[in-house]
Chains A and B, each alone.
Chain A
């Protein structure tokens, strides 16, 4: 009993921390969040960005709120929730589904850290399941902004901005924390499959991201390797599906009560 109390007390003090691996002199970096969510659109997009921009791992998340999991890649031991970047960009990604218990601390800590490195903006990449995704060749991308002043950021690039509705899940918490912390934030949301990895949705997210940031992102390799990605991401999709119901993604698409 005493031991349990001690453990809980210890956990509540520092349940999560960002551990730096490299000392980077950031220059108002743009942060891009692509944690696993619907169709893994954001996760696939963030992993493609890391590879195509050749970003290095600069930090990782250490926390007692997830199971004791490490990842091995090419013989190298890595933490599953990692931060990549250079002086201009920060990319957040994870190879495990993020449990609900982790999300509040994670989003709070990450946004605090982004402010401490003078990040200029956070862009969350995610998917929204659509029933007719099977029939859609080119998934549409929508946007949500943390403050109304940022609508222009999206509308000048012809990205439709959500005006009414619920948003939920990891990106909703990121937007909430950014709003509290005064960090400009937008979410790009691509029409996506619910139960399969969706590299096509990820490619559309990256195409929209490239127009917003005015940078080149080559999505051709992503589309060419779509079949391989769909196979490799099967287990993460299943994990995310087990976790996602607890993040209330099912309320999206419903109308909120308040009206003007």
Chain B
């Protein structure tokens, strides 16, 4: 099951979000997700859960600009991080704890 279509936050309208670096750890009873969110303050993080995935969205305290070279030069700027993390096992969205420290978000969610 994916995320509901009717997400009503402004995040859905944001294009060109940055994808944060993520580390997923699994124990026999839970998943721990660590998300690197530089330039993000704790109050601007939003996390949503489905039965087997997490959606992490965060607003940076400033606009981030990148100049990238590929087949063509591409300038990118964004103020948002967004990442969907698919989990290999169903979770209980009611059994979640989280903390945010030094720009790293830790989410612990129990498996069903």
The answer to whether A binds B is yes
Total A residues in contact with B, Cβ cutoff 8 Å: 17
Cβ contact within 8 Å between A195 and B103: no
Contact B103 A194 (CB under 8 A): no
Task: Judge if A134 is at the interface, Cβ distance under 8 Å.
Answer: yes
Query: Across the interface, do B39 and A227 meet the contact criterion of CB distance under 8 Å?
Result: yes
Cβ of A104 to closest chain B Cβ, rounded Å:
30
Tell me whether A134 and B22 are in contact (CB under 8 A). no
B23 touches A196 (CB 8 A): yes
Given A195-B22, A196-B23, A230-B101 contact (CB < 8 Å)? no
In terms of DSSP, what is the predominant structure of the interface of chain B? strand
B39 touches A195 (CB 8 A): no
- The answer to whether A195 and B101 have CB atoms under 8 Å apart is no
Quick check: is A36 within 8 A (CB to CB) of the other chain? no
- Please report the C-alpha to C-alpha distance between residue A226 and residue B36 in the assembled complex, in whole angstroms: 12
Query: In the bound complex, do residue A134 and residue B104 qualify as a contact, i.e. CB atoms below 8 Å apart?
Result: yes
Please give the number of chain B residues whose Cβ is less than 8 angstroms from any Cβ of chain A in the complex: 15
| B14 contacts A by Cβ under 8 Å | no
User: Whose C-beta in chain A lies nearest to the C-beta of B103?
Assistant: A227
Q: By the criterion CB–CB under 8 Å, are A231 and B39 in contact? A: yes
Residues on B with C-beta less than 8 A from A237 are: 21
Q: Is the CB of A196 within 8 A of B104?
A: yes
The answer to whether B36 and A196 have CB atoms under 8 Å apart is yes
Q: B80: CB under 8 A from chain A?
A: no
* Contact surface of B with A, Cβ cutoff 8 Å: 21-23, 25, 34, 36, 38-39, 64, 69, 101-104, 106
16 A–B pairs (Cβ distance < 8 Å), ordered by A: A131-B25, A134-B104, A193-B23, A194-B23, A195-B21, A195-B23, A195-B36, A196-B23, A196-B36, A226-B103, A230-B36, A230-B103, A231-B38, A231-B39, A231-B64, A238-B21
| Residues on A facing B (Cβ under 8 Å) | 72, 131, 134, 193-197, 200, 226-228, 230-231, 234, 237-238
